[in-house]
Structures are given as structure tokens and as C-alpha cells.
Amino acid sequence: MSAETGIENISTILVIGAGTMGRQIAMTAALGGFATIIQDISADGLAAARTELEGWAASRVAKGKLEQAKATAALEALGYSTDLDSVATKADFIIEAATERLDIKTQIFEKLGVLAPAHAILATNSSTLGSSKVAEVTGRPAQVCNMHFFNPALVMKCVEVVRHETTSDATVETTMELARRLGKEPVLINREVPGFIANRLMGAIQREALFLAEEGIASIEDIDTTARTALGHPMGPFALMDLVGLDVIDFIAQATHAETGAVEDAPNERIAALVAEGKLGRKSGAGFYDYKG
């Protein structure tokens, strides 16, 4: 039997990794009223996170979108540390958002299994690694799951909670309830599948969009226009791929294909060719579209 805590016993949340996702997940937790610690091996990364979050809070207050008292309380509820050993012992719920590498995550979860209180739930924000890959090394696999936020985590409502074969019902319930207390709308994925829900849906749309363009059935501009004007998507699939980064899209396809071997998951040749030319999307000035003009 597992010993995980219910939502009523969660007061301190530890977020591991102060990067793009970790810093915003931590601020979300602090705004939700939880004592929150951000841990990162990089002191510079922690300093950058603090500066960004203070700036974000000040700008929300200035725009009248956040009360000053709430902003101050959240910033005061946030602690920063480079020392995992000392902070892991204090956490009731841990969200790992470190670099997307299995060796790094395995080391972290192994440590957490030893350091974290027996009742603590250990969740990973990983987009591509199912929590089963790090569950056993913790010695408490029933208390391990994916808690997958979307970028930017302070804004996006969806949180995908993914259970692996031995994740307990109590872990799932507490994780879903925590997401609700953070103002999110959690969804449950009953077994591990590459891409979870959102990235699978997006992948299907992207595949179809690429097929239509490659067959010469419609231009990328008209396919994007249709997604916006007929389906109400905020942007079309080609514009979105350029925004995410074609190198990232290619990397995800390679990782997914290596895991599933499915024909539909194979990396796209046109995207690979654009990446080889250095056309990575918006960040490089060109991708499917040209952004230099």
C-alpha cells in the first residue's frame, strides 16, 4: 500500500528546474497559495527566474490583472535553492521540470526516493518521457506520475495527468485536485502513450496539413487560413510549427518514431530538409514562412 498524501496535507511544493517551464509552474503554485521552492543546479538560472517572475508580477499588477497583495504574497511564498538535498526533505509534492534527458531525470528521481518525505508525490512535467521510466528508482512507484503543463504555464489551462501501470488512484486524485487548486483544468490519461493527448492531436493535424501541401492540393497559406477561419484555431499548423521550431518538431518526431516505429510517426522529409538548411522557423528568421521582411 502506498503512503501518499491527500490534497489537504499538501502545503509545500518543490519545483525542480527553473527554466522556461519550471519558473512558471512555481509561480502558478505560489499564486495558488502554496509555499513553493524552485531548485536548479544553476544559480544563474535561478536568478534569471526570479528576475522574470518579479517582472511578470509587476507588469500584471500595473495592468490591473493581479492584485498587489496577491503578487506580493506569491513572491514571498517562493524560495530559491541550488541544494536539492536540503529542500527535498521539506516537500509534500514535487514537480520535476529539469532538462529533457532521461539520465538527468533518473538521477533526480533516485535522489528524491531517498530524500523526499514518505508521503510525497513525485511528478514529472516531461513532454516525452513517461513517468514509468523513472518510477522504479524512487522505491515508491505508486506515487509517481506525469503532471504535464503547457507553455506558458502561467496562462495555459490544460494539465495532462498521466498514470503509468502502478500509479495509485490516490496519487492520480491528489494530482488532479492540485491542478484544480492551481486554477487549471486537468485531464487524465489512463496509460502512457507518446504525445499524450494534446501533442497527438496536434501531430495528426500537422501530418494532414503536410500531406495537403505536399500533394499540391492547397498552399500552406490557404491551409493555415482554413484552420483559422473554418476551425477557429488561433493560428494555422504551418505558422504554429514555425513558432514551436522546426528542429523541435523534427526532434519530437524522431523520438516518437524511435519508440513506436509507426509509419505515421516518421519524421517528415520536408521539415528535415528545412532544418538542414538552418530554417528553424521564427527563431532563425525563416521556416515554412519568411520572417525577415
The residues that are catalytic are 127, 148, 160, 199
- Cβ of residue 48: shortest distance to ligand NAD, in angstroms? 8
Please choose, out of 37-45, 234-242, 254-262, 282-290, the segment that lies near ligand NAD by the rule CB under 6 A.
37-45
| Selected binder of ligand NAD within 9, 86, 89, 151 (CB under 6 A) | 151
Q: Which is nearer to ligand NAD, 84 or 172 (CB)?
A: 84
**Candidate segments 2-10, 39-47, 158-166, 265-273, binder of ligand NAD by CB under 6 A:** 39-47
Is residue 137 involved in binding ligand NAD (CB under 6 A)?
A: no
What's the CA gap between 12 and 39, in Å, rounded? Answer: 13
Q: Where would I find the beta strands (DSSP E) of 132-282?
A: 144-149, 158-162, 185-189
CA dist 96 and 127 (Å) reads 12
Q: Does 51 participate in binding ligand NAD (rule CB under 6 A)?
A: no
Residues forming a β-bridge with 195? none
Q: Measured at CB, which residue is nearest to ligand NAD?
A: 19
For ligand NAD, what does the binding mask look like between residues 65 and 104, x meaning CB under 6 A? --------------------------------xxxx---x
Name which of 5 and 242 has its Cβ closer to ligand NAD.
Answer: 242
Tell me the torsion sign for CA atoms 193, 195, 196, 202. Answer: negative
Name which of 169, 174, 188, 120 is nearest 7 in CA terms.
174
Closest CA to 97 of 13, 191, 188, 177: 13
Q: Which stretch binds ligand NAD (CB under 6 A): 34-42, 209-217, 261-269, 278-286?
A: 34-42
Quick one: which segment of 148-156, 187-195, 253-261, 280-288 binds ligand NAD (CB under 6 A)? 148-156
**Half-sphere exposure (CA, 13 Å, Cβ side) for 231?**
13
Helix (H, G, I), strand (E, B) or coil at 229: helix
Taking the C-alpha atoms of residue 256 and residue 261, their distance in angstroms, rounded to an integer, is: 8
Amino acid at 288: F
The single residue among 2, 33, 41, 173 that binds ligand NAD, judged by CB under 6 A, is 41
Q: Element (H or E) spanning 107, and its range?
A: helix 102-115
136 touches ligand NAD by CB under 6 A? no
Contacting positions for ligand NAD (CB under 6 A):
16-22, 39-42, 45, 97-100, 104, 108, 125-127, 148-149, 151
